Amino acid sequence: MPDRNFLHWPFFEDRHRALAERLETWATQHCARPDHRDVDAACRELVVKLGSDGWLKHSAPGDDPSEKIDVRTLALIRETLARHSGLADFAFAMQGLGAGPISLFGTAVQKAQWLPKTRSGTAIAAFALSEPASGSDVANIATTAHHEGDGYILDGEKTWISNGGIADLYVVFARTGEAPGARGLSVFIVRGDNPGLHIAERIEVIAPHPLARLTFENCRVGAADLIGAPGEGFKIAMATLDVFRTSVGAAAVGFARRALAETVKRAATRELFGAPLSELQMVQGHIADMALEIDAAALLVYRAAWTKDMGAARVTREAAMAKLYATEAAQRVIDTAVQIHGGDGVRAGHPVEMLYREIRALRIYEGASDVQKIIIARSVLSSGAAA
């Protein structure tokens, strides 16, 4: 059983502790081993289960204006699911990220139309920002949306879109041209079966999950499918990522905790030189480093979540620190876990081998580690934090 003492940190309330207990029981029953041979089917099944059992309602607030997102709950759910199954965490996270712009900036009609579905698991959501020439360089988006009649026509290409191919709704960022660069982007809801939207390529990655390149050719959406005002696309993307970046850090903490738990079990049972591995001081040193990095990462993650929940308008710097540190630390922790497992650590299908593949993309998506460093440095430099 991984260390759960952190639940008593002052960031949490009794409702968080109760939720974590319930989810632990649920995840033990439902996330044992998703079938990675058919990730589409496994992901659909997980979304339905997460929805029908009430977990997805925490992924994005509903259409009741008094409801707001609780980032600590979001983070706790991601951490717990990630500890049990990378695909379960992915299924939960994408419902939140895909529905995030609607939940944060949508009209009452958009919220009423889509959020009950994403929250109940009856519609799968996707967040379509990246393009072949604009991954880190978001302001360089080339997909266009021309105003025509009572709607918009989208043309262009998106890539690396999670849930691409199985999503019922795509939140798509496109250039409407109110101003150059970042100030000329808008965001639209595009239905999965919208004419003009094509799944051009399914992409396979080292930790399998549904992923695709999309093309838009003369793809018409209604004016009512515009989220926010024209030109607000970049602001909406960044505000959504402000919330969800912290939760990427939380997923990394979940992966790292699982790696430590597997390592402690292994070190206690593997006999070497006439004694358990855990009696070798060098191994103890590694285990201490792993525990230290996990606590430091969790502190940054829940600091960012708590700060947002306490009413901060933006937590760009806190979220960047949480994502950067937690994902990089988890990579180190998992690498150490693989090492301590010896040959078994690289055996296909072993939990630490799966974690080794799962963690890698988290250091790239929703802003690569180098991009997070730039965000943090800019924030420090502009705060005038000189001696």
Ligand X SMILES: Cc1cc2nc3c(=O)[nH]c(=O)nc-3n(C[C@H](O)[C@H](O)[C@H](O)COP(=O)(O)OP(=O)(O)OC[C@H]3O[C@@H](n4cnc5c(N)ncnc54)[C@H](O)[C@@H]3O)c2cc1C
Per CB under 6 A, the list member of 59, 130, 240, 331 interacting with ligand X is 130
Choose among 106, 98, 116: nearest CA to 158: 98
Please tell me whether residue 361 binds ligand X under the rule CB under 6 A: yes
Stretch that binds ligand X, among 46-54, 130-138, 189-197, 299-307 (CB under 6 A): 130-138
Q: Which is nearer to ligand X, 162 or 307 (CB)?
A: 162
Please tell me whether residue 129 binds ligand X under the rule CB under 6 A: yes
Residues 138-177 as x/- pattern, contact with ligand X by CB under 6 A: ----------------------xxx---------------
Please tell me whether residue 370 binds ligand X under the rule CB under 6 A: yes
- 79 catalytic per annotation: no
- CB–CB of 327/358 below 8 Å? no
Per CB under 6 A, the list member of 20, 321, 371, 375 interacting with ligand X is 371
Per CB under 6 A, the list member of 116, 135, 177, 230 interacting with ligand X is 135
Q: Which is nearer to ligand X, 139 or 224 (CB)?
A: 139
Please tell me whether residue 372 binds ligand X under the rule CB under 6 A: no
Give the CA distances from residue 224 to residues 171, 191, 324, in Å, rounded to whole numbers and listed in that order.
13, 13, 37
Interface with ligand X: number of residues (CB under 6 A) = 19
Q: Which is nearer to ligand X, 88 or 340 (CB)?
A: 88
Please tell me whether residue 238 binds ligand X under the rule CB under 6 A: no
**Neighbour count for residue 350 (Cβ, 10 Å):** 16
Please tell me whether residue 128 binds ligand X under the rule CB under 6 A: yes
CB of 366 vs ligand X, minimal distance in Å? 6
Q: Which is nearer to ligand X, 12 or 244 (CB)?
A: 244
Q: Which is nearer to ligand X, 135 or 230 (CB)?
A: 135
Q: Which is nearer to ligand X, 166 or 283 (CB)?
A: 166
CB of 17 vs ligand X, minimal distance in Å? 31
Please tell me whether residue 377 binds ligand X under the rule CB under 6 A: no
CB of 274 vs ligand X, minimal distance in Å? 44
Stretch that binds ligand X, among 72-80, 290-298, 302-310, 364-372 (CB under 6 A): 364-372
Alpha-carbon span 263 to 357, nearest angstrom: 17
HEC sequence for the chain: CCCCHHHHCCCCCHHHHHHHHHHHHHHHHHCCCCCHHHHHHHHHHHHHHHHHCCCHHHCCCCCCCCCCCCHHHHHHHHHHHHHHCHHHHHHHHHHHHHHHHHHHHCCHHHHHHHHHHHHHCCCCEEEECCECCECCCHHHCCCEEEEECCEEEEEEEEEEEECCCCCCEEEEEEECCCCCHHHHEEEEEEECCCCCEEEEEECCCCCCCCEEEEEEEEEEEEHHHEECCCCCHHHHHHHHHHHHHHHHHHHHHHHHHHHHHHHHHHHHHCEECCEEHHHCHHHHHHHHHHHHHHHHHHHHHHHHHHHHHCCCCCCHHHHHHHHHHHHHHHHHHHHHHHHHCHHHHHCCCCHHHHHHHHHHHHHCCCCCHHHHHHHHHHHHHHCCCCC
Q: Which is nearer to ligand X, 19 or 362 (CB)?
A: 362
Alpha-carbon span 290 to 218, nearest angstrom: 51
Alpha-carbon span 185 to 173, nearest angstrom: 7
Please tell me whether residue 374 binds ligand X under the rule CB under 6 A: yes
Please tell me whether residue 312 binds ligand X under the rule CB under 6 A: no
CB of 7 vs ligand X, minimal distance in Å? 29
Please tell me whether residue 223 binds ligand X under the rule CB under 6 A: no
Alpha-carbon span 376 to 355, nearest angstrom: 27
Stretch that binds ligand X, among 125-133, 292-300, 301-309, 350-358 (CB under 6 A): 125-133
Q: Per the residue annotation, which of 131, 353, 358, 366 is the catalytic one?
A: 366
Please tell me whether residue 205 binds ligand X under the rule CB under 6 A: yes
- By beta-carbon distance, which residue lies closest to ligand X? 135
Per CB under 6 A, the list member of 52, 107, 136, 269 interacting with ligand X is 136
Binding residues (CB under 6 A) for ligand X: these are 127-130, 135-136, 160-162, 205, 211, 361, 364-366, 368, 370-371, 374
Residues classed as catalytic: 366
